[in-house]
Structure 1
Amino acid sequence: MRQNPSFAMTDVAELRRVIDDNPWVTLVGTGEAGLVASHYAVLLDGDRDDLTIVGHVGRPDDAILGLGERELLVVVQGPHGYVSPSWYGDAAAVPTWNFVSVHLSGVPEILEPEENLRVLDRLVDRFESSFAQPRGMWSPPNDEDFVRRLERGTVGFRLTPTRVDAKRKLSQNRTDDVVDTIIERVEAGASPYVDPRLGAEMRRAHEALRSARRASS
């Protein structure tokens, strides 16, 4: 990912927030036939305060990705969307795409069955928690034999990244009034190609910039 110092993300707390808010990721590895990609949900490791993630893949994706043997790239895609040049007023401008993305690279550790089972349980609890009547992995009619068979069909992993590339391109190079206009258009649904969370992400980034400017003035 081409980096620009103005758009770089380095704050670990912010990176953790983006990962936690966007758990559906792309796993990119190198297989016998070349590059391969799979898509799974991940979680931040509950026992760590860094960028370590845990997750699982279904068999035989572990072999295809070389899980535990070769470097894995995890692409976390945050809110993103198309920005029309018409939103800049009369200034010369071209279309662009605002986005937040985090890339985590490293060789993952393969989890033992019992730890993999705990991770699977956490995943289910995380995504069921928003339902009025959440159903856990162990909830009837699921029984222990069923859950154990499910675990054996997956391979759990833990990835502590040895390289992190993160970018938050949210019109930081634009004036405050233009940024406010873009946020207004985004939140009004002026483009069909916009994640509805993009406006809030832009507000967060620009409030941080404005606070930094006030502190230095």
Structure 2
Amino acid sequence: MYRPTAFQEDNLDKLVAFMRANSFATLVSSVEAVPCASHIPLVIAMQGQVVKLSGHLSKQNPQWQAFGSAESLAIFTGPHAYISPTQYEKHESVPTWNYIAVHAYGVPKIIMLNDSPKAMNKMINQMIDAYEVDYQSHWDGLSNQFREGMMDGIVGFEMTVTRLERKYKLSQNRSQVDRETVSNTLLQSFDPAARAVGVEMKQNLESN
């Protein structure tokens, strides 16, 4: 990820909170030298200062064949908005886009029901706890045959994040006046995503 210094963010707690709030991620791997991507929900866990991601793919999805040996990339994206140069004090300015993105790299460790039923159950329970905790009783009430059939049709994984790249592009390279003007304009937008970027900009201004 291209990350000019002005747009870098190094607060790990802030990044993990962002990843959890935007956990429907894009997982990218290379299968036989061909890029392969899946759009999947992930569970983000912290063990000390180490970030771990877990999730699953269908067994029919060839992407999991890259797991275990090659690095994968999980891309988390949040709100984004077009920024018009008319918002700037300087007339000779260019259009741009404000956004937040986090890239997490690591080698996914494969979890198969036949090889590690305990790890598969843990992954499923983490997913339920993260996305619909009330579903746990429903899941527990299913027959063993049905649950095992579902789990046998997927490939779970856990990925220890070895590298995090984060970019908070919120006009930090502009003047205070420009940043306040852009933030206020976005906050008045009819577009919810633009307003969300305005909120992020306002918070960023107030924290600096």
Whether TM exceeds 0.5 here: the answer is yes
Aligned ranges 1:71-90 → 2 under 5 Å: 71-89=71-89
Which position in structure 1 is the counterpart of 2:118? 114
The offset of 1:8, in angstroms, is 1.0
Structure 2 segments unaligned to the other structure (5+ residues):
none
Of the structure 1 ranges 89-98 and 135-144, higher mean CA displacement relative to structure 2 is found in: 135-144
Which position in structure 2 is the counterpart of 1:215? none
Return closer, same or farther for 1:193/1:46 CA change in 2, 3 Å cut-off: closer
Q: Is 1:123–2:122 an aligned residue pair? A: no
| TM-score, structure 1 as length reference | 0.82
Greater share of strand: 2
Which position in structure 1 is the counterpart of 2:196? 197
Of the structure 1 ranges 15-24 and 199-208, higher mean CA displacement relative to structure 2 is found in: 199-208
Q: How many residues align?
A: 204
SS of 1:92's partner is coil
The amino acid of 2:196's aligned partner reads R
| TM-score, structure 2 as length reference | 0.85
Which position in structure 1 is the counterpart of 2:206? 207
Q: Distance in 2 between matches of 1:196 and 1:154?
A: 38
The amino acid of 1:118's aligned partner reads K
SS of 1:60's partner is coil
The offset of 1:196, in angstroms, is 4.3
Q: Distance in 1 between matches of 2:117 and 2:141?
A: 22
Note if contact 1:29-1:65 (Cα within 8 Å) is conserved in structure 2. Answer: no
Which position in structure 2 is the counterpart of 1:95? 95
The offset of 1:125, in angstroms, is 3.3
Runs of 4+ aligned structure 1 residues displaced above 6 Å come to none
- Residues 79-131 of structure 1 show CA distances to partners (whole Å, capped at 9, x for unaligned) of 222112222255322111111111111211123332222222332332235xx
Which position in structure 2 is the counterpart of 1:12? 12
Aligned ranges 1:27-176 → 2 under 5 Å: 27-32=27-32, 34-45=34-45, 47-61=47-61, 63=63, 66-89=66-89, 91-111=91-111, 112-128=116-132, 134-136=134-136, 138-139=138-139, 142-176=142-176
Q: Distance in 2 between matches of 1:28 and 1:207?
A: 35
Over the matched positions of the two proteins, sequence identity in percent amounts to 28
The offset of 1:62, in angstroms, is 5.2
SS of 1:165's partner is strand
Q: Distance in 2 between matches of 1:108 and 1:151?
A: 18
The amino acid of 2:128's aligned partner reads V
The offset of 1:48, in angstroms, is 4.9
Structure 1 segments unaligned to the other structure (5+ residues):
210-217
Of the structure 1 ranges 147-156 and 42-51, higher mean CA displacement relative to structure 2 is found in: 42-51
Q: Distance in 1 between matches of 2:194 and 2:61?
A: 29
Quote the RMSD (CA, aligned, Å).
2.4
The offset of 1:193, in angstroms, is 8.7
Return closer, same or farther for 1:90/1:160 CA change in 2, 3 Å cut-off: same
Of the structure 1 ranges 84-93 and 101-110, higher mean CA displacement relative to structure 2 is found in: 84-93
Q: Distance in 2 between matches of 1:182 and 1:12?
A: 27
